[in-house]
Amino acid sequence: MNILGIRVEPKKTTFVVIECEGDRFTIINNEVIKVPAALDFPEKLKYIRNCVLDILREYGISIAGIRVAEANSQNLDVTRLHIEGVIQEAFSSSDVESYFTGRKVSIASRLKMKTEELDEVFRGKSNFSVIVNWDLLTTQNSREAALVAMGGIA
């Protein structure tokens, strides 16, 4: 079974695909979707939706998760919110068995961690030993994407 985790930023979207074989979890892809700047806003949303649907099909994703913006954030980026909504719609329009939209507290809860512990892992100060090749995730966004994917199966 393959699981997908996504972390959105206004100009790029990070995704991680994790292969699950029994209780062994291995990262099989860690990439960034960069949206062409020349596209107008609706075309950017369409581009991201199509990329996500392609990823779901290419990797045969069974379970997906998306790290969504914190509700109490002082500087919510509307572009990020639109992109997150389009990705959630892509999940619901696909053959994905289930998907998880996670904020920090819900991700920590599903992974049976305290939010402080989750922050340490997000920042790269601690490892998440459940994933065999965790060291491949060198950015905070890729670590967030991987952990929201793991939250989708917890």
What mean pLDDT comes out for the span 48-74?
92
Q: What is the pLDDT of residue 71?
A: 79
| Residues 102-141 pLDDT 10s | 999 999 999 999 999 999 999 999 999 999 999 999 999 9
84-117: b (≥16 Cβ within 10 Å) or e: bebbbebbeebebeebbbbbbeebbbbbebeeee
pTM of the full structure: 0.94
Residue from 27, 42, 61, 32 nearest 135 by CA:
27
Averaged pLDDT of the chain: 94
Q: What is the pLDDT of residue 137?
A: 96
- What topology is assigned to 2-153 in CATH? Nucleotidyltransferase; domain 5 (3.30.420)
User: What would the two tokens of residue 19 be?
Assistant: 């292969």
Q: What is the pLDDT of residue 132?
A: 94
pLDDT band for position 42 (cuts 50, 70, 90)? very high
Q: What is the pLDDT of residue 25?
A: 97
What mean pLDDT comes out for the span 2-8?
97
| Residues 62-89 pLDDT 10s | 999 999 988 776 667 889 999 999 999 9
Q: Where are the domains of the chain?
A: 2-153
